[in-house]
Amino acid sequence: MDRGARENSRNSSLKSPGQPPFPSSCMSDTPAPQHDTVPASAEDKTLDKLLAEAQARIDEQRDAWMRALAEAENVRKRAQADVAAAHKFAIERFAESLLPVMDSLEAALGAAAGSPQALRDGVELTLRQLKAAFQKANLAEIIPVAGERFDPHRHQAMAAVESENAEPNSIVSVMQKGYSLHDRIIRPTLVTVAKALENKGGDPISDANLNSN
């Protein structure tokens, strides 16, 4: 008997008559037990809901950002307009206060032909009105007195003169008064200042030497 015939005979001897070659339990169509899971359709709905909520929040934040950006741009434009108007009309009140001064000058010139006294009165009135306008604008005169210490922040020395009655670096006379606007000097006072006396040898005489003589 050849090899193939022997194998067929052995396989036939292992089988029982009328029974399948394997147990019926091994051939069962019952599916294997599965763990509890959420249906795929429910998971998709939950994910779609979360995505929709996230997108809604993104849209809301974007709208808020756009509104804030637009408001900031409006504020910037209003600020620019206010600054431009402030520069353009910065002296409006001061200009209004000068209008009566102009009226008085014109009236004084009109009365000059009739009476010198009328002209003088008109000029004095104009000067008072001009000073009042300066005061309203916080424009103050700087008029130092003789003997006051020279201040380079408020005064400008135009000449230095020897003086026996004044201390060196003190103001002797005022050549032109200065003006300040609030706390800012807009024109320093032009002054002459005293300098130390010199002896015949050209050396300055100190205060101590003056007192001892």
Q: Which domains does the chain have, with CATH numbers?
A: 139-207 (2.30.22.10)
Regarding predicted confidence, which is higher, 153 or 25?
153
pLDDT at residue 36 tops 60: no
Instruction: Name the burial class of residue 178, with classes exposed (0-12), middle (13-18) and buried (19+) by CB atoms within 10 angstroms of its CB.
Output: buried
pLDDT digits (tens, 9 = 90+) for 85-131: 888 888 888 888 888 888 888 888 777 666 788 888 888 998 999 99
Q: Which residue has the tokens 């135009």?
A: 158
Q: How far is it, in rounded angstroms, from Cα 193 to Cα 152? A: 11
Instruction: Name the burial class of residue 49, with classes exposed (0-12), middle (13-18) and buried (19+) by CB atoms within 10 angstroms of its CB.
Output: exposed
Q: How far is it, in rounded angstroms, from Cα 174 to Cα 187? A: 13
How confident is residue 31, by pLDDT bands cut at 50, 70 and 90? low
User: 140 φ, ψ to 5°?
Assistant: -110, 150
Q: Where are the beta strands (DSSP E) in the chain?
A: 139-142, 155-162, 171-176, 178-181, 184-187, 189-195, 197-198, 204-205
pLDDT at residue 144 tops 50: yes
Q: Mind giving me the DSSP string for 147-172?
A: TPBP-TTTEEEEEEEE-SSS-TTBEE
pLDDT digits (tens, 9 = 90+) for 12-23: 554 555 555 545
Residue 8 has a pLDDT of: 55
Q: Which residue has the tokens 């000067």?
A: 127
Q: How far is it, in rounded angstroms, from Cα 20 to Cα 9? A: 17
Q: Dmax of the chain from CA atoms?
A: 168
- What angle separates helix 92-111 from helix 116-136, to the nearest 10 degrees? 170
pLDDT digits (tens, 9 = 90+) for 59-82: 999 999 999 999 999 999 999 999
- If we measure between CA atoms, which residue out of 194, 196, 199 comes closest to residue 173? 194
> In percent, how much of the chain has pLDDT > 90?
41
